[in-house]
Each structure stands twice: as C-alpha cells, then as structure tokens.
Amino acid sequence: MTAAWWQRGVLYQVYPRSFRDADGDGVGDLRGIRERLDYLVELGVDALWISPFYPSPMVDFGYDVSDYVDVDPRFGTLAEFDALLAAAHARGLAVILDFVPNHSSDQHPWFVESRASRVSPKRDWYLWRDPAPGGGPPNNWISDFGGSAWTLEEATGQYYYHAFLKEQPDLNWRHPEVRSAMYAALRFWLDRGVDGFRLDVLWHLIKAEGFPDNPPNPAYRAGQGEMHRVLQTRSTDQPEVHAIAAELRRLVDGYGARVLIGEIYLPLERLVAYYGAHGEGVQLPFNFQLIDAPWSARELAARIGAYEAALPQGAWPNWVLGNHDRPRVAARLGDAQARIAAMLLLTLRGTPTMYYGDELGIGRVDVPADQVRDPLELREPGLGRGRDPVRTPMAWDATPNGGFSAATPWLPLHADWRTRNVERLSAEPGSLLALYRRLLALRRAHPALAVGDLALFSPSAPSAPSAPSAPLPREIDDDGDVLAYERRGDGERLLIALNLGDAPRALTLPAWARGARVLLSTHDAALEGAGAPTLPRLALRPNEGVILAAPLSPTPAESSRP
C-alpha cells in the first residue's frame, strides 16, 4: 500500500490566538506553537494546520487578511515563522497554512485602491455594482454574518459585495490579475517550504454571472441566522469554481508532495465534486458530516456509507470532528461520547482532522456577554452561532491561566481548566488525552487503520465500495445503538464496535472476530492484548468502544457464509 503523507497522517488544527502565548500579551503566537511542537509529536499527529496569522485588522480574527505574504506582529515575524516551520519539519511534522482567497480585509492595499475611484486599475479586483434600479442593494444576497451582503460606498455610488463582514470584501476571481496575485502569494509560502493549504470558503470563490437573486429558502425558520433566509445557489458553488480548484492544484503539485484542503459546506454530491472528476481538484474537500450528524448508530452508518459510495474513483476520504467555527465535540456529545467520537474519528477510513483542545475534552464554555469577541455573535446575538466558546485558550497545566499565558487571556478558559489540562490528563491513564494518544499510536502501528479498506456492519447502510467483496454480517445488535465496521489491510482485520448509547449492548461477532485480540477499549487500558470472548457475542458496556484485531485469513465458517 503506497499512501501519501496526508492520506496516512492525522491533521491537527491550531487556532494560533489560543494555543500558547509566548510573549505574554494574552494572545497566542507562533513562538508559542513552536515551543509546544513536542506535545504534538508525543500526541502522535502528523501535520498541523494553523488558522491565519497574516497581518490583519482582526475584525474576523485573521480571516480578514491585509497582507497575504507576511506575519501579523501579534503572532510574530516571518523569521519566527521560518523557525517554526524548520522546527516542525525537524520533528517530522508537516505544516499547512490557512489561505483566505475569497476575500481580503478592507484595509488591504488592493481594496483601498479599488474603492478609491470607479476608474481605479484595481476597481475590478473586487465586486462593484450599481444600486438596484429603484435604489438599494443590487440583489438579495445576505451576508453569512447577517444583513445585506452589499455595502454602499457613498463616494463612488456603487455597492461592493462581501459574503461575510463589510470589512471582508470579496475578490473577483474571474479577473486574471487577481488570480495571478493570489498564486504569487501561494508561491511565496510554498517557496518557504509549507506543506499545503487549507482553502477558506473555497465554494464561494465564483458567483453567478449577472448576480441574479438567490432563491428563498422554504425551510427557513426564525432563529437560524439570517443567511438561511435564502439558498446560496447563485452566490456560491458555481461550475467555474472547479477550474480554479484545478488551477490551484496544478500550482501546488508543481512543488511535489503538498496538499490542498478545501473548506466546503455543501451537500454530499456537491461536496465530492471538489475532488474533480479525475482527481484534478483539491485532495481533501473537508467532510463535516460528523459535526452535523445526529449521534445515532443508524444515522452515522448511513452517512459513512453514503459518503464512501459518493467518492469519485481514487478520491481519498477525510473526517472532521470539530473546528473553530462549530460547537466542540464534547459540548455536543458529553464526556462519555466524546471518547467514542475520538475512536470513530481515528478508526474511519480517511484522513482525520482533530481540533486543538478536543483531546482534553473541553466542553461548553460560557463566555460572559461582556467578553464576547466573535463578530458573528456580536451581530446576531443569542442564536447559539457564536464561536468564542470553541476558541478559548488551550490549558497546559494548573498554573495561572492554564499555562497558556502570563497575561489575562483574550478569552476565558474553560471552567475546569485546573483539572482539565495537558499536564494533569497526561498523568491519568484513563483520560481522554491518554485515549487519543493510544488511538494515534495504533493508527501508526496498524496500516489497516491508516489506509485499509472499510466495510460497515450495519443493516441500514449501503456496503462500502472500498471492499466490495467483503461479506456484510447482518448481526448488528437490534437496539441500534452499536455502530460497527471492519477495517482490513496489510494482513489484518480489525473490528471496531462503538456503543453510542448509555446502556449495555451486545454485538454478534462475525466468525473471524471470535477470539480476536482486543487492541483497545475506551474503558480500560488493562484489557489491551487480551483475547476477546470466544462467545459469539461481544458485550459492550455503556458508552464503550472496542477495537478487535485478527489476522487476515478467511475462516471456513466465513467462507461458507451465504
């Protein structure tokens, strides 16, 4: 099995404001990340994706870039970035940058020039339109952060488009000079040695010609966020975006083994189109289904099966449990199921992306109203969309501010940081952090986990195309709380059984797994290496997940299975 580093490896997202503050201003920085690289090595991940650290007015905390080829002084310097990259590479860690192509800051010199006059040479680098015939915005497009997505520039009498804040004007990707400027920025970082990019809101880059209205969303319910009033079918996901993805891919491929990851929130069929029909798109269009899925075995099995079935030929899957925009996994599912989620993420087929702090099980953080920083929450308060609670500082130890900073952190820490921190959880063999470390070590040691085939054991899910010949046992437990699947490869078969409920459950084992070795249980490290019961049923305790391993050789019982 030959697999690229980004297929075999595990990605870890660092939100740089909140990982580690080395210069004592309450905001994390690049040196802080460098000083904690050994933690990532011990954890067992392979690559870090760092959210934006470019110069920025920080209206959207770095996703409003005012210079694509430098480092914001709050985060450090280019020299500090080079030191971080070298230190990461020396440890075998890849570094993936967050690139924000869709929009710049309104303080970017390009936009400053563009807005200055209707005849500015950079006017068409952004999206300017006359008011609608009766006055008002050119169409009904709504910003993802609420309100019209068009802002009137009084001086020139035209509106400019911004899918997000008015301080984040959208660039015109149909303009060849914009593309060249962006490609130059990518080359700047590739030449420095970065291993790839996560492309922010990739599906937004191209808007429909003529800027037609978006259709109303018939399923809109009050309280969802104003953006959901319309379906973004005209403002996003236009066919021409795929040619741009392919162009970006060609550029990055010119540098060898690099990776492009697309941030794309779309239904499955439209998401997988970003691989490109022949693999010419991005290698990993982020798959956020685990963030949105109802947490039941049937739902998850159905989604895993549907995703596997939808992948184009040769496409490599990926799974994400959390990020800086969505509620944390432990807040969504609670402590017990956060362990199951960890086992799921790290045993599915495809590249997993972890989010910093999820390995500590940071749960719901209540950010007091007077400490809210997220522009989304400030504009549309109280809808539960606010992102501050998932961006709070990492807790390293029980010293003041959790060892994150010598100063008061920019956001408060989780309430239980004195006990929920890296130092403390490292000393507890049964902690979630210890479970993550064991899972990551297993992924490294067992190619079947990292790159093997997958077959679901579920009556409700279609069989996975990756293992068309695998027999699908039908004996899933009747209560429907157990999600089970097989990973197979390199002379080994693994069975993963996850109890998604809080009652004991049992799973009827396929013949090959009877008496198999227990590689790992979420519940006790002591079990590891023991044989599974030779009984036909595997008993699972409430919220327990188990990985069994057996050599890959079909048993007579199995080959006689109808």
Q: Residue number with the shortest CB distance to ligand GLC? A: 63
Q: How far apart are CA 467 and CA 489, in angstroms?
A: 10
Q: How far apart are CA 476 and CA 455, in angstroms?
A: 13
Q: How far apart are CA 54 and CA 20, in angstroms?
A: 17
Question: Looking up tokens 């050994």, which residue turns up?
Answer: 38
Residues forming the site for ligand GLC (CB under 6 A): 60, 63, 100, 164, 200-201, 263, 324-325
Question: How many CA atoms are closer than 13 Å to the CA of 251, on its beta-carbon side?
Answer: 21
Beta bridge partners of 492: 489, 551
Q: How far apart are CA 444 and CA 205, in angstroms?
A: 36
Q: How far apart are CA 352 and CA 45, in angstroms?
A: 10
Closest approach of ligand GLC to the CB of residue 299, in Å: 24
C-beta of 98 vs 195, nearer to ligand GLC: 98
C-beta of 353 vs 458, nearer to ligand GLC: 353
Show the CA angle centred on residue 403, arms to residues 20 and 320, nearest 5°.
50
Closest approach of ligand GLC to the CB of residue 52, in Å: 9
512, 455 contact by CB (below 8 A): no
Beta bridge partners of 353: 11, 320
C-beta of 325 vs 558, nearer to ligand GLC: 325
Closest approach of ligand GLC to the CB of residue 100, in Å: 6
Helix H or strand E segment including 456: strand 453-456
Question: How many CA atoms are closer than 13 Å to the CA of 550, on its beta-carbon side?
Answer: 19
C-beta of 11 vs 476, nearer to ligand GLC: 11
Closest approach of ligand GLC to the CB of residue 163, in Å: 7
Closest approach of ligand GLC to the CB of residue 531, in Å: 46
| DSSP state, residue 391 | S
- Residue 105 CB partners (closer than 8 Å, separation 6+): 56, 57, 59, 64, 65, 66, 111, 167, 168
Q: How far apart are CA 467 and CA 53, in angstroms?
A: 42
C-beta of 47 vs 227, nearer to ligand GLC: 227
Closest approach of ligand GLC to the CB of residue 247, in Å: 21
- Counts of helices then strands in the chain (DSSP H, E): 16, 18
Closest approach of ligand GLC to the CB of residue 249, in Å: 20
Q: Which two tokens stand for residue 183?
A: 């490609």
Closest approach of ligand GLC to the CB of residue 230, in Å: 18
Catalytic positions, written as ranges: 200, 263
Q: How far apart are CA 457 and CA 124, in angstroms?
A: 54
C-beta of 63 vs 160, nearer to ligand GLC: 63
Question: Looking up tokens 């899910």, which residue turns up?
Answer: 461
C-beta of 226 vs 308, nearer to ligand GLC: 226
20, 40 contact by CB (below 8 A): no
Beta bridge partners of 354: 12
C-beta of 100 vs 343, nearer to ligand GLC: 100
Q: Which of 511, 552, 553 is nearest to 532 (CA)?
A: 511
